[in-house]
């Protein structure tokens, strides 16, 4: 018989088989030599059919760490890696961490998806993102010859019909005018200009924090959003903006004057100087504190982005132009690159000029 078996202790047998220059082995439980021989024949068959993997003892948590260290960190953004680690620690590892990688079945993944909705009350979208992460990890396990199949690739994501959708209630024009009045009295000049930047540009928080004076052309009245400052362990890091495509567009005189005054206030620094020295998280906290100190309704910085979008659309600017300006990716604008500014974008600048 091909292969070799030996009893290492009562009821435990060591199976060994040499195939195409590689040695395969495993321990099995058997009550008799004949049962051990039968299991040896199955073992040999698995090896020859390519269905046996040497690393069958590795657990999900062990391979997840390999996935993070060998794939995620060298290839993905720090923000994505941080999100992966959060999802693993918050939800996934409690169910799968101790399981052997090869023992995870599709039913386990389906039951976990159901659990996320039924017990954790997560939205279908959040549930899908967690299952997608498991699938990405198992895909690498297949690619790196740890397992044969990805059992998370055909899981049904249940709908959470009981989950209330978060409603974004944007500022009314009265609330916006009150915010601007309070903003004008703000002593923290850096925070004031940062909030005005978010209001006038609709840029993402990281895009605002990554701006240099070089990115604002006082003569042409344009702003170039081309970087994103993200939070990483121990500080921040510059990376490409979310869509990977720079956005160059017009900005109104009001905002140009605000930045000019700020530039002079700072002593006319080198144009490569960042407008803001705040950590992105500090910007979020200071914005919340500004609202609280002035008895303004609590909103998030991203709500200023939504507010900018709402104003432009409600004032008659077409949705595609707004999407291009804000860096959204509708199908009509997915491959758009603003190397030249379309004349239509001037309307956006005029709307904001007359509103604030």
- Over residues 154-192, the pLDDT tens digits come to 899 999 888 776 676 788 889 999 999 999 999 999 999
325, 312 Cβ separation under 8 angstroms: yes
Distance CA 152, CA 16 (A): 31
pLDDT at 1: 52
| Token pair for 283 | 């910007």
pLDDT at 146: 85
SS3 content of the chain, % helix, strand, coil (to 5): 50, 15, 35
48, 19 Cβ separation under 8 angstroms: yes
CA angle 241, 245, 246 (to 5 degrees): 80
List, in order, residues 6 or more apart from 240 with CB less than 8 Å away.
227, 228
Range(s) of the chain covered by CATH 1.10.443.10: 173-355
pLDDT at 339: 38
pLDDT at 85: 95
pLDDT at 183: 95
Distance CA 172, CA 62 (A): 51
DSSP β-bridge partners for residue 166: none
pLDDT at 144: 86
Range(s) of the chain covered by CATH 1.10.150: 60-143
Distance CA 157, CA 341 (A): 42
Going residue by residue through the chain, which has 356 residues, state the pLDDT in tens, using 9 for 90 and above: 578 899 999 999 989 888 887 787 888 899 999 999 999 998 888 888 776 666 667 899 999 999 999 999 999 888 889 899 999 999 999 999 999 998 999 999 999 999 999 999 999 999 999 999 999 999 999 898 788 889 998 899 999 888 776 676 788 889 999 999 999 999 999 999 999 999 999 999 999 999 999 999 999 999 999 999 988 777 888 888 876 678 899 999 999 999 999 999 999 999 999 999 999 999 999 999 999 999 999 999 999 988 888 887 777 777 667 777 877 655 433 333 333 445 556 666 777 777 66
pTM for this prediction: 0.64
Straight-line distance from the first to the last Cα atom of the chain, in angstroms, rounded to the nearest whole number? 86
For 173-355, which CATH class? mainly alpha
pLDDT at 337: 34
Distance CA 98, CA 112 (A): 15
Write phi, then psi, for 260 (nearest 5 degrees). Answer: -60, -45
pLDDT at 347: 65
203, 243 Cβ separation under 8 angstroms: no
CA-derived radius of gyration, the chain? 29
- CA count, 13 A, side-chain hemisphere, 99: 12
96, 60 Cβ separation under 8 angstroms: yes
Helices and strands of the chain, counted as H and E runs: 15, 8
| Token pair for 190 | 């850096």
For 60-143, which CATH class? mainly alpha
């Amino acid at each position: 018989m091909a292969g070799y078996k030996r009893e290492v202790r009562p009821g435990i047998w060591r199976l060994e088989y040499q195939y195409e220059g590689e040695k395969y082995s495993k321990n099995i439980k058997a009550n008799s030599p004949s049962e051990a021989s039968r299991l040896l024949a199955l073992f040999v068959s698995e090896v020859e059919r390519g269905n046996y993997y040497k690393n069958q003892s590795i657990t999900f948590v062990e391979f997840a760490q390999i996935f993070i260290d060998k794939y995620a960190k060298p290839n993905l953004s720090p923000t994505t890696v941080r999100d992966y680690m959060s999802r693993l620690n918050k939800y996934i590892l409690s169910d799968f961490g101790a399981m052997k990688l090869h023992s995870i079945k599709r039913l386990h993944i389906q039951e976990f998806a159901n659990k996320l909705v039924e017990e954790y009350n997560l939205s279908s979208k959040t549930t899908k993102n967690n299952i997608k992460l498991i699938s990405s990890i198992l895909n690498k396990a297949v690619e790196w010859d740890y397992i044969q199949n990805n059992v998370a690739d055909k899981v049904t994501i249940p709908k959470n019909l009981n989950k209330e959708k978060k409603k974004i209630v944007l500022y009314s024009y009265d609330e916006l005018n009150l915010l601007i009045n309070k903003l004008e009295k703000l002593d923290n000049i850096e925070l004031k200009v940062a909030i005005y930047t978010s209001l006038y540009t609709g840029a993402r928080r990281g895009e605002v924090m990554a701006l240099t004076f070089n990115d604002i052309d006082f003569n042409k009245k344009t702003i170039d959003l081309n970087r994103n400052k993200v939070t990483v362990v121990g500080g921040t890091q510059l990376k490409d903006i979310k869509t990977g495509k720079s956005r160059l567009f017009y900005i109104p005189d009001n905002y140009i004057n605000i930045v000019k005054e700020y530039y002079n206030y700072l002593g006319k620094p080198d144009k490569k100087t960042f407008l803001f020295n705040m950590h992105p998280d500090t910007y979020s906290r200071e914005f919340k504190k500004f609202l609280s100190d002035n008895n303004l309704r609590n909103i998030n910085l991203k709500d200023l982005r939504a507010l900018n979008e709402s104003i432009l659309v409600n004032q008659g600017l077409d949705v595609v132009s707004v999407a291009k300006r804000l860096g959204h990716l509708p199908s009509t604008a997915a491959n758009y690159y603003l190397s030249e500014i379309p004349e239509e974008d001037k309307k956006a600048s005029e709307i904001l000029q007359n509103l604030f």
